């Protein structure tokens, strides 16, 4: 048997009471990924109406000289994060922090804070922000889809519904179907005793894509509770997406007998196809190299023969010209009275030629 002294029992009781008080003092706000949440921060003292208000994130110190605080937004200045905004209602002694485009990283501990006097600690109130992820589902055009929403027992007497919008506050007036009106066009709602209601969507279209919110509202106070969110994406069937867009299959049927190869006439298309095949054969590297070699060899042979003929023909022509010139000179000398020595010289030159 375990014996606990009175002092230890007292300390244990105090710890339990502190935990209960702490849980009561800490307010929990819930938002959905991609949605919006509004955080209400009341302050009791009217003397704080003109003081600066701000939201502190993480482990914030009540020491006024603590400078390493993460303050995403504060009154009187531009927010560090554009998703955060602050509005104040001095009559009601509260200010509201609105956070849009919620992300999973936004989840955590925050503090509603009011700046006080220089040597007095700021007024802090702890809050906790919980971010719920949005479920992602897909459907195909023409098919049907079911969205299941589980709710707690305290929402049993509330009106349950499904609405569509990028943010819960935007879809309050776009309720697709509810537990009061179970059928609305292609949308229908069924509820059971297991605290689950299901919304069926038939004949899906691409316009059905978007974010849907499962919610509940109390008719007397118009207090909305958001249960879950679903991001619905309508895509075409996988087999349809893989088919080529410009593919056409045509079938021809005829009663004529099939023509044989010998009886089939030759058409220009067959000659053109043969020329195309010949042209395509030039694309072969081996055929191309052999063709270039043959052409080069023929050109070299033709060039060599041309040079040989030219060299053979040129000296014979020159020699003929010299002889003709000598004969003409000889005839001139014979017809004139020239010295015999000159005639002998010319004759000797002719013999040499």
Question: What would the pLDDT profile of 262-280 be if each residue is shown by its tens digit?
Answer: 444 444 444 444 443 444 4
What are 188-227's pLDDT values in tens digits? 999 876 889 999 999 999 999 999 999 999 887 888 888 8
What does the pLDDT read at residue 162?
Answer: 95
* Residue where the block lists tokens 């040989």: 308
pLDDT band at residue 110 using 50, 70 and 90 as cut-offs: very high
Q: Would the pLDDT of 313 be above 50?
A: yes
Identify which has the larger pLDDT, 92 or 352. 92
- Max CA distance (Å), the chain: 173
Most confident of 37-46, 75-84, 303-312: 75-84
Identify which has the larger pLDDT, 269 or 149. 149
| Under 8 Å between Cβ of 240 and 141 | no
Q: Would the pLDDT of 105 be above 50?
A: yes
pLDDT band at residue 233 using 50, 70 and 90 as cut-offs: very high
Average pLDDT value for residue range 114-141: 88
What does the pLDDT read at residue 232?
Answer: 94
- 3-class DSSP state of 54: strand
Cβ neighbours for 95, distance < 8 A, ≥ 6 positions apart? 41, 43, 53, 75, 86, 87, 88, 89, 112
What does the pLDDT read at residue 141?
Answer: 94
What does the pLDDT read at residue 254?
Answer: 36
Q: How far apart are CA 40 and CA 18, in angstroms?
A: 24
What does the pLDDT read at residue 13?
Answer: 53
For a pLDDT cut of 70, what percent of the chain falls above it?
Answer: 65
Instruction: Work out the mean pLDDT of the chain and round it to a whole number.
Output: 75
């Amino acid at each position: 048997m375990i014996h606990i002294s009175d002092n230890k029992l007292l300390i244990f009781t105090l710890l339990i009471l502190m935990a209960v008080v702490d849980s009561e003092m800490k307010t929990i706000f819930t938002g959905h990924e991609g949605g919006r949440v509004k955080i209400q921060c009341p302050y009791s003292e009217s003397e704080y109406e003109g003081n600066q208000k701000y939201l502190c994130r993480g482990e914030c110190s009540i020491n006024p000289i603590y400078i390493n605080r993460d303050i995403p937004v504060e009154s009187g200045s531009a927010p560090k994060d554009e998703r955060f905004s602050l509005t104040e209602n001095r009559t009601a002694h509260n200010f509201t922090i609105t956070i849009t485009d919620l992300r999973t990283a936004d989840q955590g501990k925050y503090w509603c804070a009011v700046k006080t006097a220089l040597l007095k600690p700021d007024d802090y109130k702890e809050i906790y922000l919980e971010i719920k992820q949005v479920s992602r589902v897909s459907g195909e055009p023409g098919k049907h889809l079911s969205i299941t929403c589980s709710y707690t027992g305290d929402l049993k007497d509330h009106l349950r519904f499904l609405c569509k919008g990028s943010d819960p506050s935007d879809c309050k007036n776009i309720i697709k179907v509810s537990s009061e009106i179970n059928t609305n066009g292609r949308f229908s709602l069924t509820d059971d005793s297991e605290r689950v209601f299901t919304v069926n969507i038939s004949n899906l279209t691409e316009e059905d894509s978007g974010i849907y919110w499962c919610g509940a509202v109390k008719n007397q106070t118009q207090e909305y509770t958001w249960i879950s969110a679903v991001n619905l994406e309508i895509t075409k069937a996988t087999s349809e997406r893989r088919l080529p867009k410009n593919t056409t299959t045509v079938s021809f049927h005829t009663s004529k007998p099939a023509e044989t190869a010998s009886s089939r006439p030759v058409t220009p298309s067959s000659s053109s196809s043969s020329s195309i095949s010949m042209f395509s054969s030039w694309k072969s590297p081996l055929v191309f190299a052999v063709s270039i070699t043959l052409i080069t060899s023929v050109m070299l042979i033709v060039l060599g023969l041309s040079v040989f003929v030219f060299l053979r023909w040129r000296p014979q022509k020159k020699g003929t010209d010299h002889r003709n010139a000598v004969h003409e000179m000889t005839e001139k000398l014979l017809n004139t009275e020239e010295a015999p020595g000159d005639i002998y010289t010319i004759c000797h030159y002719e013999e040499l030629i």
